[in-house]
Amino acid sequence: MGTCNLNHSQQDIRLKFESQKAFLPTVLSHTLDRYLEKANSQETLNELFHLLKKYDLSTSEEQESRNEKLKEIML
């Protein structure tokens, strides 16, 4: 994924998550939903946005990679 100079807000992440929720594994979706209830650093918000962006259009291998990165962030 390329780098982006835009800073994404908590609301941006929530909207992106809601649009991609149906494509995420159920357990990961529930965990991420709870994770988004807390405040996160700008760096984390930006990373979350780009992991969720076009998730539904990614290959299954790319989705697995993104799932692992999402899990790492939420640890």
Contact assessment for residue 27 and residue 66, using Cβ atoms and an 8 Å cutoff = no
Distances (CA, A) of 28 to 2, 3, 6, 7: 23, 24, 25, 24
Amino acid 43: pLDDT: 95
Q: What is the 3-state secondary structure (H, E, C) of 21-48?
A: HHHCCHHHHHHHHHHCCCCCCHHHHHHH
Contact assessment for residue 46 and residue 9, using Cβ atoms and an 8 Å cutoff = no
> Does the pTM exceed 0.95?
no
Query: What are the sequence ranges of the domains in the chain?
Result: 10-74
Express each pLDDT in 8-41 by its tens digit: 999 999 999 999 999 999 999 999 999 999 999 9
Q: Is the pLDDT of residue 1 over 50?
A: no
Q: Is the pLDDT of residue 60 over 70?
A: yes
Contact assessment for residue 16 and residue 49, using Cβ atoms and an 8 Å cutoff = yes
